[in-house]
């Protein structure tokens, strides 16, 4: 009897198995003993399966189960490179003395049990798509072929051990607890043909929906009749493969030949798909409304046969993209027309309906939507000059001249700006980078004026160095040069490249910090320098926070910080 303190599998699901694995609710009996659902607390609660002998069984039974566990571990090690196997992640021992036992930690099989898929399809009076079935059969045959090349007999090929991930289009084969090696003493009572004949049973189940082969000698005629409802292009070939894999004496000596024939059958099916897919390509190239409607009909028919085919999925995505681009282009044209006609509410409605209220700031929809919201939010209760300035800003955004829009926007008297209005706050956020760059150019001009004024004073016999209230011309010139170069670099950097922008904003913040400390600055310029320095430092702070988040692998936080820089 094992120590009770080590019987972690008997505790609640909140307990840790071997100090590491949090047990879930799932618990099953398998060939090797107990199978448990668990979560690896050392790897972000990764969902796994733990297998081990039942600690309450007698020593002889536990010893036999551990032998099976060891065989499964060896099998998984040999097949580790296959994408259709749940890999062994870890193994260890629990307990001490006669009560100790080994355990394996194996990947959780993501996807849906194939047996459940077949049951649901049968209940609904349909079959699984032939393209999906062919992919399942080919992937299962590849697993068995590789196992046979490794001198390994699965010895338990069964639908209940298959899981299908539709999104990944991948089959997982679980449970190798009954595996046999050709190097083991008792392997002579097993053969590779056992796996092939069990595969035939699975193949029959997948293609017909019935539970098992129901004939003593399932020959070609039997298979042709059984597969009468299967897609005609591959029906005869699948019937031939099924008959050659069937008991009592399969024609395939190993799964390698079976795999090759199934891959050839799948290739023939894809050749069939290539014809209508070529027609779809022509329809997409024509791109008339009638051609797109025909393309959609053909793709729907093909997807019913092979929803997991990459070529079909790519054409579906291309069709969706063409239609989306046309809807967006129409909305852009209509929105632009409304804005130029100063029909602000209509512009907001059509753009929001197509692009949503949060279109990307640097995109044409984002600029149009910002323009419409700008004037719509302040279309009443404002003086004529303010209305004209905002209308000019909106129309500049329509023409994708955001800096001209900022010029017009900033020409509004400060008391006319109501920053409590949500659309205006949205616009300010959207155009923040342009506003900052606009103000920085103004500062560069002001510093150039200071520098030139200092030169004129020096040329007239003055001595700027002797006046404590006057900024030295050389210092102003150096600050002006540094800021101008940094701003030029910033404007040349791609809008999406936050790393380059980090570097340039860092230089800008440093230059502004030097500039605001210069003596003798006009009061307005000094205040303006301080405000811009704070904003540049804020951008730098977002960049540094993004870098820290990336180092910590906090990718969602990093994305938020980057968005604050490149919006």
Read out DSSP for 235-268?
Answer: HHHHHHHHHHH-SSS-S-SSHHHHHHHHHHHHHH
Exposed e or buried b for every residue in 433-452, given b needs 16+ CB within 10 A? bbbbbbbbeebbebbbebbe
Separation CA 209–CA 128 (nearest Å): 9
The mean per-residue pLDDT over the stretch 222-241 comes to: 95
Do 421 and 448 belong together in one domain? no
Q: Is residue 59 part of a domain?
A: yes
The label of the residue with tokens 């002001």 reads 446
pLDDT of residue 205: 95
Torsions phi, psi for 553 (to 5 deg): 60, 30
Torsions phi, psi for 335 (to 5 deg): -60, -40
Q: Is residue 556 part of a domain?
A: yes
Separation CA 198–CA 133 (nearest Å): 17
Torsions phi, psi for 538 (to 5 deg): -65, -40
pLDDT of residue 11: 43
Separation CA 407–CA 387 (nearest Å): 14
Q: Is residue 73 part of a domain?
A: yes
Q: Is residue 308 part of a domain?
A: no
Contacts of 411 (CB under 8 A, 6+ apart): 389
pLDDT above 50: residue 391: yes
pLDDT of residue 534: 79
Do 458 and 502 belong together in one domain? yes
Do 143 and 238 belong together in one domain? yes
Better-scored residue on pLDDT, 308 or 282: 282
Do 240 and 366 belong together in one domain? no
Sign, CA dihedral 518-520-521-524, equals positive
Do 99 and 163 belong together in one domain? no
Domain count, the chain: 4
Q: Is residue 285 part of a domain?
A: no
Q: Is residue 321 part of a domain?
A: no
Chain segment 489-514, per-residue pLDDT in tens: 776 766 556 677 777 778 877 877 77
Q: Is residue 456 part of a domain?
A: yes
pLDDT of residue 532: 75
- The residue from 272, 294, 312 where one domain ends is 272
pLDDT of residue 313: 93
Better-scored residue on pLDDT, 184 or 278: 278
- The residue from 397, 430, 463 where one domain ends is 430
pLDDT above 90: residue 541: no
Do 237 and 334 belong together in one domain? no
Separation CA 222–CA 237 (nearest Å): 14
Chain mean pLDDT for the chain: 81
- The residue from 392, 412, 430 where one domain ends is 430
Q: What is the CATH number of the domain that holds 10?
A: 3.30.200.20
Contact 261, 241 (CB under 8 A): yes
SS3 29: strand
Separation CA 492–CA 480 (nearest Å): 18
Do 333 and 419 belong together in one domain? yes
Do 422 and 438 belong together in one domain? no
Do 48 and 96 belong together in one domain? yes
Contacts of 445 (CB under 8 A, 6+ apart): none
DSSP letter (8 states) at residue 85? B
Of the pLDDT bands very low, low, confident and very high (cuts 50, 70, 90), residue 85 is very high
SS3 476: helix
> Which of these ranges, 246-255, 395-404, 503-512, has the smallest mean pLDDT?
395-404
Q: What is the CATH number of the domain that holds 129?
A: 1.10.510.10
Do 375 and 495 belong together in one domain? no
User: Domain range holding 518?
Assistant: 433-566
Q: Is residue 317 part of a domain?
A: no
554 burial level (CB within 10 Å; 0-12, 13-18, 19+): middle
Do 82 and 201 belong together in one domain? no
Do 46 and 160 belong together in one domain? no
């Amino acid at each position: 009897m094992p120590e009770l303190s080590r019987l972690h599998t008997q505790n609640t699901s909140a307990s840790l198995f071997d100090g590491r694995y949090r047990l879930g609710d799932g618990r099953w009996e398998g060939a090797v003993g107990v199978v448990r659902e668990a979560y690896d607390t050392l790897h972000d609660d990764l969902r796994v399966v733990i297998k081990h002998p039942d600690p309450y069984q007698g020593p002889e039974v536990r010893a036999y189960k551990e032998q099976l566990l060891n065989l499964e571990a060896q099998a998984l090690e040999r097949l580790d490179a296959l994408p259709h196997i749940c890999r062994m992640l870890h193994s260890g021992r629990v307990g001490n003395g006669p009560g100790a036992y080994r355990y394996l930690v194996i990947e959780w099989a993501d996807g849906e049990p194939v047996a459940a898929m077949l049951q649901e399809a049968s209940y609904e009076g349909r079959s699984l798509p032939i393209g999906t079935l062919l992919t399942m059969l080919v992937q299962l045959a590849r697993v068995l072929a590789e196992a046979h090349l490794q001198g390994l007999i699965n010895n338990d090929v069964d639908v209940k051990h298959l899981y299908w991930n539709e999104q990944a289009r991948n089959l997982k084969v679980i449970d190798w607890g009954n595996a046999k090696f050709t190097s083991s003493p008792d392997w002579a009572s097993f053969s590779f043909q056992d796996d092939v004949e069990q595969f035939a049973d699975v193949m029959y189940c997948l293609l017909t929906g019935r539970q098992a082969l129901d004939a003593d000698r399932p020959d070609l005629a039997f298979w042709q009749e059984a597969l009468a409802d299967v897609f005609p292009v591959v029906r005869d070939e699948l019937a031939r493969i099924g008959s050659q894999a069937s008991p009592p004496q399969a024609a395939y000596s190993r799964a390698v030949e079976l795999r090759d024939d199934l891959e050839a059958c799948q290739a023939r099916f894809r050749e069939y798909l290539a014809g209508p897919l070529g027609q779809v390509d022509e329809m997409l190239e024509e791109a008339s409304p009638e051609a797109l409607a025909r393309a959609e009909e053909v793709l729907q028919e093909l997807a019913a046969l092979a929803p997991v085919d990459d070529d079909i999925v790519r054409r579906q995505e291309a069709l969706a993209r063409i239609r989306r681009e046309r809807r967006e282009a129409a909305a852009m044209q209509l929105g632009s027309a409304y804005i130029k006609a100063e029909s602000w509410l209509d512009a907001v409605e059509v753009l929001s309906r197509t692009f949503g209220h949060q279109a990307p700031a640097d995109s044409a929809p984002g600029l149009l939507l910002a323009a419409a919201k700008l004037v719509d939010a302040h279309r009443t209760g404002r003086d004529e000059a303010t209305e004209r300035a905002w209308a000019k800003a909106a129309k500049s955004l329509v023409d994708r001249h955001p800096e001209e829009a900022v010029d017009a926007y900033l020409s509004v008297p400060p008391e006319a700006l109501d920053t409590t209005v949500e659309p205006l706050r949205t616009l300010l956020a959207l155009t923040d980078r342009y506003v900052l760059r606009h103000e920085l150019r103004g500062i560069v001009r002001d510093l150039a004026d200071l520098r030139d004024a200092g030169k004129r004073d020096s040329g007239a016999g003055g001595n700027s160095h002797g006046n404590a209230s006057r900024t030295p011309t050389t210092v102003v010139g150096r600050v002006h040069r540094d800021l101008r170069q940094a701003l030029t670099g910033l404007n040349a950097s791609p809008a999406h490249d936050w790393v380059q922008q980090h570097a340039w904003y860092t230089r800008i913040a440093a230059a502004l910090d030097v500039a605001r400390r210069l003596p003798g600055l006009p009061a307005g310029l000094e205040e303006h320098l301080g405000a811009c320095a704070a904003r540049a430092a804020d951008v730098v702070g977002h960049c540094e926070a993004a870098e820290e988040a990336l180092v910590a692998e906090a990718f969602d936080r990093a994305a938020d910080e980057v968005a604050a820089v490149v919006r």
